[in-house]
Amino acid sequence: MADAAPILVVTSGPDDAASGLTPDTSPLPLTPAWDADGVAAALPDTEIVFLWTMRSPAFDALRNVWPEAKHLRWVHSCSAGVERLLFPELVESEVVLTNSRGVYDLPMAEYGLALMLAAAKGLPETLARQREHDWRFRYTETLAGKRLVVVGPGSIGRTVARHAAALGMRASAVGRTARTSDPDFDAVASRDALPQALAEADYVVITVPLTDDSRGMIDREAIAAMKPTARLINLARGAVVDEPALIEALREGRIAGAGLDVFAEEPLDPSSPLWDMPNVVVSPHISGDTDTSEQDVVDLFLDNLRRWLAGEPLRNVVDKRLGFVTGS
């Protein structure tokens, strides 16, 4: 049972309150902080840290002031990906780390589906011709019958597959271990079989968490295995993909296109050739963010806080050595 120590809420600035998290909704006091000094001042008396935004300068300051975390017992992240939090001091500690797994499943699945539909129906070309008042007939493609390969069959990847199945797509996946029986995929291949799996894909959707194992996994060899008609969609982290190799393949027409919501460096450099490629959709890391996602994150945290105070198991406990939530 936690006592009445305040919850440290890491925000992006003094005007960035966690929507829905107020003294009226929280059973414990709230202490906001948005820079390293604020975190350092509040941390010694804190048992719980709620990382409300990844865009805060204080997000990465937590490691620098970790020696002050004498009473810290639980950290909750607003994001599903927690790679920025997996510094050795936290990993080796007894501090529980939870994330916002589940909040982004549907928004990211819808976004991935939108990118696939945009590619199949040629929407970027349609919009470009509209701006030029150019009325020109052409054929488009259908998603029905196409092979979708999801790299990372977690909760987000599974939601992508379920929605794609509603449009008649056939879904398989690449995960940590191979299996032939799965409720959402025709089959799940192991990481060792990644090139062979990608060779069958019409669309590749990346939803794998960023870990030491997944960093750079979509490398030159993996991209070379894809069909010239295939398209790659990255909703995970930019570092999962070898970006120079992808740019080269797109330039040379060795794959048909890409929908990219994440990049090796963010914001994407204005000089990047990805901005101007006609077969690429660039978006600013927004696939999981909707008009309800902030409240959903707060609702998840408040439910976990109730569990914490009641001594019940928390939702979304991250395996800090693997870097993600395991189990269903």
Per-domain residue ranges of the chain: 7-103+291-325, 105-282
Strand partners, 170: 147
Sign of the alpha-carbon torsion through 174, 176, 179, 182 = negative
Strand extents, DSSP E, the chain: 7-10, 30-33, 48-51, 74-77, 96-98, 147-151, 170-175, 188-190, 203-206, 231-234, 257-260, 280-282, 318-319, 324-325
Residues 101, 158, 231, 237: which is the catalytic one? Answer: 237
Class of domain 105-282: alpha beta
132 tagged catalytic:
no
pLDDT greater than 80 at residue 1: no
Quick one: DSSP state of residue 149? Answer: E
When pLDDT is averaged across residues 137-153 and rounded to a whole number, the result is 98
315 tagged catalytic:
no
Class of domain 7-103+291-325: alpha beta
Secondary structure class of 17 (helix, strand, coil): coil
pLDDT greater than 50 at residue 2: no
| pLDDT tens digits, 180-200 | 999 999 999 999 999 999 999
User: Residue 129 phi/psi, 5° resolution?
Assistant: -70, -35
| pLDDT tens digits, 13-68 | 988 888 889 999 999 999 999 999 999 999 999 999 999 988 887 878 889 999 99
Residues 266, 306, 315, 321: which is the catalytic one? Answer: 266
Residues 84, 254, 285, 307: which is the catalytic one? Answer: 285
73 tagged catalytic:
no
What share of the chain in percent tops pLDDT 70?
98
| pLDDT tens digits, 205-231 | 999 999 999 999 999 999 999 999 999
What distance in Å separates the CA atoms of residue 256 and residue 233, rounded to the nearest whole number?
Answer: 11
pLDDT greater than 70 at residue 297: yes
pLDDT greater than 70 at residue 4: no
Amino acid at 22: T
C-beta separation of 52 from 79 below 8 A:
no
pLDDT bracket for residue 142 (50, 70, 90): very high
Q: What was the pLDDT predicted at 19?
A: 82
* Domains 7-103+291-325 and 105-282 equal at CATH topology level: yes
